[in-house]
Structure 1
């Protein structure tokens, strides 16, 4: 269906596309220059089908390359790391990435003097291969953008104003009025996707009465690659290891807090906020310091009613959002990218259109079950652990204690967290498209 009315004038983008004499059936426009959008562009550009023209549109591409703000970092699971390695990006960020060598889970109240470990995981899915690495988002975005330019992807520093999808092409009008005739438009423009709304694709979800607070913490002693998740009544408090920088031992925190309490906490003077972090962080790593501003974002769960429409597809947060309790938001978005790129490249090799209907529906079928399952799992975990009811506490601690005594179950959960279970797409197996 048409997503918007009007096509505007043909500007520089339209003339550029015409001079390259590439048919719309071989052209893909991606809205969103974040991790998912850039990863998709690079996957398609290096996919081996040949002759694809890829454009990424995002006003943020006009800004100077970010740097120095380590408040946002992500856990890159082993499957996603294999994908980035296959795309030639991992080597650029590997030196600044920190492997997660083991993970410890506690369940306690904030005032408890001792937080005993009730479950721990070894951190390798194979000898010498950690199940995840921590990578600062700025580093990964910059590496992907540079690789896209090298691969011939056009990075346009403007948004998309509207588009009209027809049976043979989609006409994409940029904010400057330029028109690009493409075969496929992909929305990777985040949870509040404008393009998803333009395509009249519904959204099912709800907001949690919780806020995620992220920051980078300095501490006296090395973390030795250990991740810790403290389950507290207000929500999980995760401590995730970061690479040492400027001789500072560092960790990233992802702190889930009730919305009303978060408003109060974020208005505290720096030293008072540091003390609140220390109460949750603990003293195991010595004295701590806030190395970045604490940033907050509302938490929610949601999924698009459809992942595809006529010559249109959703990836990443534009298709789904989950609670960060399992650290899987970015990884399931990159799995979207791997599956969509694989279906598009395979269709092109058979001489089909980049928006081949059968291929897009196959992408949707492949991803909906996985994302619904992950959404329900993280929602259930959040409900289970974000409360202080004694019967629930006893039940969950008993369950975690049983898992601690079952090595086979622990290996399964590690492989699941690493993104190496189920129908793993080729890129996440470390295979080129």
Structure 2
């Protein structure tokens, strides 16, 4: 991979896009754009070999039905086939008390999504990108100067090279320096919670069911993964704890941690053990009021960061990808430049409402289930029982989980 990356680094021609950030969202954008005939420079300071090394990242991501449609249309499905665990149902419960909701689509509707190891997603993306002539991939370097003007954009890299394009795309993640440099206002707050992430082996099979168990301190999610090569059952854990308790949880021995996790699982998967190293990160919300500026578009976590309660963070970024590629492709067919402001305004209008709605629902659920006490719990379970009995409401929530609601970009449609 390094040889290919070095070969691609020699490309210094002007291209349609300069994409800052070659993570899951940035590289998906580059590949989707390339399939539409749109050229790009992709800049990432990381070494791809480090990102895909065995054990470097034990995290997993839920890929919605709509996002899987995108992967299929840009040619990633063959490489990912057989690597994702289908999510056939989602069980939602308030502390494992009576009144849970079971979301299970009809067989002809397919799954609610698929769980993939982040490493597998990266390997598929990087392998596809390294042989794509429409992508010039610049690794182990970063932007030290970004200039945007009426005639295009210019980026100087830390190794001295200068790249030019029509449009700059910031896909640098939550701490995007390009977004901050552009002065975008952010609605943001700290949940004062921390997500504890780990991989689990467990005694009982998960039956392709994802569990979302809500406790007053925060949601506790069990996400199904494929059995390992030895046939051991596996799931990914995302356990939300209060920031005031986080230091104590982080300091726990593995045995103590497993005991606490097992206690909250109420035996649904039997005895457990750790299958991957534990990680933790703070939970914060941010939403950019604008996602465009002169010859600039912001996508993925650079534009919006949300609570992982519904597993929609990456999927929201992939919806950004689909919308941006569709807008650029249609505009370029009419002879417009990718950096044309009218195209960017269309992208912003399309994405702003959708991302705000998804994030508002996610934030609302986090706050609703975080209210302690018997009365709030009883009210929640009463509402959950109503949803369980009403097919129309269940259909709405399942469509949201599958990413099939709203005005979808063509790349994400079935």
> What are the superposed Cα offsets for residues 170-222 of structure 1, whole Å, 9 maximum, x if unpaired?
11111112111111110100011011112222222111110111111001121
Measured in 1, the distance between the counterparts of 2:124 and 2:329 equals: 23
What is the aligned partner in structure 2 of residue 5 from structure 1? none
Name the structure 2 match of 1:75: 62
Q: Following superposition of structure 1 onto structure 2, how do residues 179-198 of structure 1 map, counting pairs within 5 Å?
A: 179-198=162-181
- SS of the equivalent of 2:26 reads helix
Q: Is the aligned partner of 1:314 residue 2:298? A: yes
Distance (Å, rounded) in 1 between the aligned partners of 2:39 and 2:371: 51
State the 1:70 CA deviation. 5.8
Partner of 1:134: 115
Q: 2:33 aligns with which of 44, 62, 67?
A: 44
Per the TM alignment, residue 330 of structure 1 is displaced from its structure 2 partner at its CA by: 0.7
1:61 to 38, 44, 47: 47
RMSD value, Cα: 1.8
- Contact (CA 8 Å) 2:66, 2:413: kept in 1 or not? yes
Structure 1 residue 17: Cα displacement: 2.8
CA distance in 2 between partners of 1:62 and 1:175 (Å): 18
- Secondary structure of the 2:247 match is helix
Task: Select the residue among 283, 294, 298 that pairs with 1:299.
Answer: 283
Say whether the 8 Å CA contact 2:9–2:138 is kept in structure 1: no
The 8 Å contact of residues 11 and 136 in structure 2, kept in 1 or not, is answered as no
**1:374 and 2:355 matched:** no
Instruction: Report the counterpart of residue 330 of structure 2 in structure 1.
Output: 346
* Cα distance in structure 2, aligned partners of 1:85 and 1:270: 39
- Note if contact 1:80-1:331 (Cα within 8 Å) is conserved in structure 2: yes
- 1:264 deviates by 0.6
Q: What is the Cα deviation at residue 127 of structure 1?
A: 0.9
Match of 2:235 in 1: 251
Q: Secondary structure at the match of 1:130?
A: coil
Deviations 1:31-74 (A, max 9, x none): 11111000000010001xx3x32111011135432333563111
Structure 1 position 89 matched with structure 2 position 71: no
Question: In the aligned structure 2, how far is the partner of 1:373 from the partner of 1:306?
Answer: 15
Q: Unpaired segments of 5 or more residues in structure 2? A: 1-6
1:189-228 to structure 2, matched below 5 A, reads 189-228=172-211
Whole-Å Cα distance in 2 between the matches of residues 375 and 215 of structure 1? Answer: 24
User: Which one of 321, 337, 344 corresponds to residue 337 of structure 1?
Assistant: 321
Q: Distance in 2 between matches of 1:13 and 1:287?
A: 48
1:46-103: per-residue Cα shift (whole Å, max 9, x none)? 01xx3x3211101113543233356311110000001101111122122110001111
Contact 2:218–2:241 (CA under 8 A) maintained in structure 1: yes
Whether 2:164 is the aligned partner of 1:164: answer: no
Aligned with 2:218 (options 235, 238, 241): 235
| C-alpha distance in structure 1 between counterparts of 2:114 and 2:9, whole Å | 41
CA distance in 2, matches of 1:15, 1:210: 44
Cα distance, 1:13 vs structure 2: 9.4
Render the CA deviation track for 1:285-339: whole Å, top value 9, x for unaligned.
2210011111111111111121011111100000001111111111111000100
- Distance change in 2, residues 1:14/1:166 (3 Å): farther
Are the equivalent residues in 2 in contact too, given 1:322–1:374 (CA < 8 A)? no
Query: Does the CA-based 8 Å contact 2:354-2:406 persist in structure 1?
Result: no
Q: Is the 8 A contact 1:205 1:303 kept in 2?
A: yes
Residues 100 and 130 in structure 1, CA contact (< 8 A), matched pair in contact too:
yes
Helix, strand or coil for the counterpart of 2:227? strand
Aligned pair in 2 of structure 1 residues 204, 297: CA closer, same or farther (>3 Å)?
Answer: same
**In 2, Cα distance between the equivalents of 1:30 and 1:391?**
50
Distance 2:72 2:8 in 1: 32
User: Out of 126, 138, 163, which is 1:145 matched to?
Assistant: 126
Task: After the TM superposition, list the runs of 4 or more consecutive aligned residues in structure 1 that deviate by more than 4 angstroms.
Answer: 12-15
How many aligned residue pairs are there? 404
Q: Is 1:61–1:155's contact at 8 Å kept on the other side of the alignment?
A: no
Distance 2:78 2:10 in 1: 36
User: What secondary structure sits across from 1:148 in the alignment?
Assistant: helix
Q: Give 5+ residue unaligned stretches, structure 1.
A: 1-11, 19-23, 109-113
Aligned to 2:3: none
Q: Would you say the 8 A contact 2:196–2:279 is kept in 1?
A: yes
1:428–1:265 distance in 2 versus 1, CA, 3 Å: same
* Contact 2:18-2:164 within 8 A present in 1 as well: no
The whole-number CA distance in structure 2 between the counterparts of 1:213 and 1:123 is: 29
Structure-2 separation of matches of 1:281 and 1:155: 44
1:359 aligns with 2:343: yes
CA distance in 1, matches of 2:156, 2:60: 33
